[in-house]
Amino acid sequence: MIFSDLQLACDMLIQGKVVAIPTETVYGLAAHGYNAQAMDQIYVLKNRPRMNPLILHYKDIESAEKDVLWTPLAKQLAHAFWPGPLTLVLERSPSCRVPLLASAGLPSLALRVPSHPLVRQVLERCPMPLAAPSANLSGYLSPTHPKHVQANFSVPTLDGGPCHYGLESTIIDCRTMPRILRPGAICQKEIENVLGHSVEIGQEKGLPSAPGQLREHYAPSKPVRLNATHVESNEGLLAFGPPLSGALMTVQLSLTKDLEQAASALFEGLYQLDRSPCASIAVMAIPEEGIGRAIQDRLYRASLAGL
């Protein structure tokens, strides 16, 4: 069911039911953030390993005040980027109301304040935060449209149209030295401009602080070949700029090589090619600058899946 009744979405969430919600990044599979049973259904529906923690979505900083131990760095980033697609990882506070299931037993919690107007209204009307991973089966493409959610599950889906960014939030560990754990909709440079210094990207060696991230594949069911300079006649092409010729089917990410446009078209493009008769998917090179880093990350993971 795809629906647009906000109050119905809130009622179901308060009762502990799972509802797919739009965010500015991708659709989320949401459940009551203070109810372990409600959250458990997310893991079951997604077939998600329980060692992969969830992101909690709050209506504002104040409502998240009690659940984590804030650092000056986290406050600075929250003030600069919330509401918006930045997820902060902080230490759970002793008074944290979020069940340990959401943290996969870790002492930390990932949280963000989303900016999509519909999810903001839902959060305004609910007395709790929402735990919400991307609304796809574990390992599959992230959903940027209600029809993508429905292709994964038959959960009630609040219709917010296509997602603005089309890529997940950037995750940054703010407990001590800032570290970007997942590149995403907010690029490294924007974060560095706010902090006034450089920020490391990637997991700290020997410290699996985002265990689930290792398992994320964002993959279609067909093989993905990167940095294509030619294309086979049985391949589907994900083009960036003037397309290579000879593909069975071509989906354009951005003819003018606009990286924001390419990000918002990425998952829809992969869904289209995955459903098409092509045997595999060839992707033209995407530059690493700005949000291109996050596009590359998702495509690289997609290319590894099934190997």
| 292: number of Cβ within 10 Å | 20
Question: Does residue number 166 form part of the binding site for ligand TXA (CB under 6 A)?
Answer: no
Question: Does residue number 174 form part of the binding site for ligand TXA (CB under 6 A)?
Answer: no
Question: Does residue number 219 form part of the binding site for ligand TXA (CB under 6 A)?
Answer: no
Min separation Cβ 207 and ligand TXA, Å: 11
Stretch that binds ligand TXA, among 12-20, 50-58, 196-204, 236-244 (CB under 6 A): 50-58
Provide the sign of the torsion angle of the four alpha carbons 158, 164, 168, 171, taken in this order: negative
Min separation Cβ 94 and Mg ion, Å: 29
Chosen residue from 10, 12, 26, 38 binding ligand TXA by CB under 6 A: 26
Residue 89 in contact with residue 171, Cβ under 8 Å?
A: yes
Question: Does residue number 110 form part of the binding site for ligand TXA (CB under 6 A)?
Answer: yes
Site for ligand TXA in 177-206 (CB under 6 A): 181
Stretch that binds ligand TXA, among 48-56, 147-155, 238-246, 289-297 (CB under 6 A): 48-56
Question: Does residue number 13 form part of the binding site for ligand TXA (CB under 6 A)?
Answer: no
Please choose which of ligand TXA, Mg ion, none residue 171 contacts, taking the beta carbon within 5 to 8 angstroms, the exact cut-off set by kind: ligand TXA
Stretch that binds ligand TXA, among 10-18, 104-112, 239-247, 297-305 (CB under 6 A): 104-112
User: For the window 262-281, what string marks contact with ligand TXA as x by the rule CB under 6 A?
Assistant: --------------------
Q: If phi over 0 gives left and psi between -120 and 50 gives alpha, with beta otherwise, what is residue 65? A: alpha
Count of positions on this chain that bind ligand TXA (CB under 6 A): 28
Question: Does residue number 152 form part of the binding site for Mg ion (CB under 5 A)?
Answer: no
Question: Does residue number 171 form part of the binding site for ligand TXA (CB under 6 A)?
Answer: yes
Residue 149 in contact with residue 20, Cβ under 8 Å?
A: yes
Stretch that binds Mg ion, among 17-25, 131-139, 219-227, 256-264 (CB under 5 A): 131-139
Residue 99 in contact with residue 194, Cβ under 8 Å?
A: no
Chosen residue from 87, 134, 157, 254 binding Mg ion by CB under 5 A: 134
Chosen residue from 35, 134, 250, 296 binding ligand TXA by CB under 6 A: 134
- Which is closer to Mg ion, CB of 82 or CB of 267? 267
| Structure-token pair, residue 195 | 């902090």
Q: Which residue is nearest to Mg ion (CB)?
A: 134
Residues lying near ligand TXA in the complex (CB under 6 A) are found at: 23, 25-26, 28, 52-55, 85, 87, 89, 103, 106, 108-110, 132-134, 168-169, 171, 181, 209-210, 212-213, 216
Residues lying near Mg ion in the complex (CB under 5 A) are found at: 134
